Amino acid sequence: MKKILITSSLIAAALLFNGCEEKQNKINRYLQNWTGVNGVLEVYAGEKLVKRFIKIDKLSTAVATEGKQQRAYRYGYGFLDANLNFKKDANEKKVYFEVSDYSTYVFFENPDL
């Protein structure tokens, strides 16, 4: 009986969210904001990797002080991976960073941790 109740609850939830992709995206973003992403941000100059930030919970879009217009940069907090080894070493500190929308960068979840 308990299995049937759980299964029917899962089916009902799936039907409720089926076709409502934006609602699913909002729920996923909420969970990621709560649990963290363990993100990595890599900044490139041409094809060369020049900076890497690790252990980033989220990357936020800046919003104008007055009004609701988005600014042309993203920001967050993470550890500057100075030696590019994907590990937080003793001398690497947590820093605030900004990256322009016009920069070449990649943000992804670290698959190794």
| 41-62 per-position pLDDT tens digit | 999 999 999 999 999 988 888 8
- Considering the domain architecture, whether residues 68 and 87 belong to the same structural domain is answered as yes
pLDDT at residue number 23: 62
Stretch among 36-40, 68-72, 98-102 having the lowest mean pLDDT: 36-40
Q: What percent of the chain has pLDDT above 90?
A: 36
Q: Please state, in angstroms and rounded to a whole number, the distance separating the CA atoms of residues 47 and 44.
A: 6
- Considering the domain architecture, whether residues 23 and 50 belong to the same structural domain is answered as no
- Considering the domain architecture, whether residues 43 and 27 belong to the same structural domain is answered as no
Structural domain including 23 reads 1-35
- Considering the domain architecture, whether residues 48 and 1 belong to the same structural domain is answered as no
- Considering the domain architecture, whether residues 29 and 45 belong to the same structural domain is answered as no
pLDDT for residue 29 is more than 70: no
Q: Please state, in angstroms and rounded to a whole number, the distance separating the CA atoms of residues 77 and 96.
A: 5
- Considering the domain architecture, whether residues 51 and 24 belong to the same structural domain is answered as no
Indicate the DSSP class of residue 70: E
Domain count, the chain: 2
DSSP string, the chain: -HHHHHHHHHHHHHHHHTT-HHHHHHHHHHHHHHH---EEEEEEETTEEEEEEEEES--EEEE-SSSSPEEEEEEEEEEE-TT-SSS--TTPPEEEEEEETTSEEEEEE-TT-
DSSP string, 82-100: TT-SSS--TTPPEEEEEEE
Q: pLDDT: is 22 or 101 the higher one?
A: 101
Averaged confidence pLDDT in the chain: 78
- Considering the domain architecture, whether residues 9 and 53 belong to the same structural domain is answered as no
- Considering the domain architecture, whether residues 16 and 71 belong to the same structural domain is answered as no
At 44, is the secondary structure helix, strand, or coil? Answer: strand
